């Protein structure tokens, strides 16, 4: 592929003279270009929703969500994955971020790692990826060999494969069942896809994981009721969540959480339904973890 033909490699006329601009003008140009990201993502909302349903179908039946990328794209996948356990109380193996070069590449570039197509497959094999799981390949250019190798392997197993790229007519789109491609226009610095493309990818990844967790019952109203209270801030947040959901006092909420083994969700059901912790847990299990379903029974 001629790299100069890629959407992400085009020159941006709005920043053609940014090297001679004042500091105020530099940041104004960057901000003006950033305003183009959200509308680009809005145009692909139908594809994002379709991807959420594909991922949910697998995760609801015991599968995992696997992100696979390189460089900025890989780091964004890892970032989204590692935030899921503390936010939604899920095990760390449920959402996994893979990137070319492994963990060391997160903080320091591993030269040539993204060009290793076989390593994409090898990394999926290493985590025992199967047709039960869902794969999201992430690459702004839509042509990264490492990601393509992973996508080809996942396809051979019959797993759902989703491409997240910022280029049209990409090679990745031809390897995927579904493509999400917000087109944000040329970068402020030509080819620097950590900027608008990276912002668009982060927005999409946030939507994918958040929407799936909502569908899995990890949210009640807009409260993260499966949050893990692993530090002082999250302990206070847990109490605030229970108070907001039930109208309980701080002391009542704290005591309910303690009686329910630290579970906000169980504490909320216990308080709202007048149940014991054990009965609240049973009611949640019957309702597939959704508080609203318990209350509507």
The CATH number for 187's domain is: 3.40.50.10490
Q: Is residue 220 part of a domain?
A: no
98 shares its domain with 206: yes
* 57 and 178 inside one domain: yes
Compute and round to an integer the Cα radius of gyration of the chain: 22
**CATH number, position 254:** 1.10.8.1080
User: Catalytic annotation on 9?
Assistant: no
Q: Which residues pair with 66 in a beta bridge?
A: 96, 135
Domain count, the chain: 2
Of 180, 215, 250, the one marking the end of a domain is: 215
237 and 270 both lie in a single domain: yes
Same domain, 21 and 96: yes
Q: Is residue 221 part of a domain?
A: no
Catalytic residue among 114, 121, 171, 187, which? Answer: 114
Q: Does residue 91 fall inside a structural domain?
A: yes
Asked whether residue 133 falls in the same domain as residue 242, the answer is no
CA dihedral 56, 62, 63, 65 (to 10 degrees): 60
Side-chain half-sphere of 119: how many Cα atoms within 13 Å? 16
pLDDT for 29-84, tens place per residue?
Answer: 999 999 999 999 999 999 999 999 999 999 999 999 999 999 999 999 999 999 99
- The yes-or-no verdict on residue 178 having pLDDT over 70 is yes
pLDDT in tens, 123-168: 999 999 999 999 999 999 888 999 999 999 999 999 999 999 998 8
Across the chain, what does the average pLDDT equal? 93
Residues paired with 164 in a beta bridge: 138, 180
**pLDDT (tens digit, 9 = 90+) per residue, 275-292?**
999 999 999 999 999 999
pTM metric for this prediction: 0.92
> Catalytic pick from 9, 25, 33, 83?
83
Task: Mark whether 84 and 181 lie in a shared domain.
Answer: yes
Answer yes or no: is pLDDT of 1 > 80. no
Q: Is residue 226 part of a domain?
A: no
Q: Is 114 a catalytic residue?
A: yes
Range of the domain at 264: 232-296
Please check whether residues 195 and 242 belong to one and the same domain: no
Domain co-membership, 70 together with 177: yes
Do 119 and 195 belong to one domain? yes
Residue 230 neighbours by CB distance under 10 Å: 11
């Amino acid at each position: 592929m001629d790299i100069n033909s890629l959407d992400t490699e085009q020159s941006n006329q709005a920043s053609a003279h940014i090297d001679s601009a004042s500091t105020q003008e530099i940041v104004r140009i960057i901000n003006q270009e950033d305003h183009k990201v959200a509308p680009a993502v809005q145009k692909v909302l139908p594809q994002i929703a379709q991807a959420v349903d594909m991922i949910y179908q697998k995760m609801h039946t015991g599968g995992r969500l696997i992100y696979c990328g390189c460089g900025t794209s890989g780091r964004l996948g890892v970032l989204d994955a590692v935030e899921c356990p503390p936010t939604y109380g899920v095990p760390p193996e449920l959402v996994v971020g893979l990137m070319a070069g492994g963990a060391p590449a997160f903080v320091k570039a591993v030269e040539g790692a993204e060009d290793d197509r076989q390593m994409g497959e090898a990394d999926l094999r290493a985590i025992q990826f199967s047709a039960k799981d869902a794969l999201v390949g992430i690459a702004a250019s839509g042509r990264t060999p490492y990601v393509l190798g992973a996508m080809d392997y996942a396809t051979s197993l019959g797993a759902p494969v989703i491409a997240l790229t910022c280029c049209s007519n990409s090679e990745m789109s031809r390897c995927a069942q579904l493509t999400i491609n917000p087109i944000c226009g040329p970068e402020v610095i030509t080819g620097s896809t950590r900027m608008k493309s990276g912002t668009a990818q982060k927005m999409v990844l946030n939507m994918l994981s958040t929407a799936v967790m909502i569908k899995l019952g990890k949210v009640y109203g807009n409260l993260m009721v499966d949050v893990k209270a692993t530090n002082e801030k999250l302990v206070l947040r847990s109490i605030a969540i229970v108070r907001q959901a039930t109208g309980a006092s701080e002391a009542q909420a704290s005591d309910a959480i303690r009686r329910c083994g630290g579970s906000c969700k169980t504490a909320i059901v216990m308080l709202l339904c007048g149940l014991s912790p054990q009965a609240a847990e049973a009611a949640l299990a019957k309702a597939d973890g959704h508080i609203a379903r318990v209350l509507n029974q």
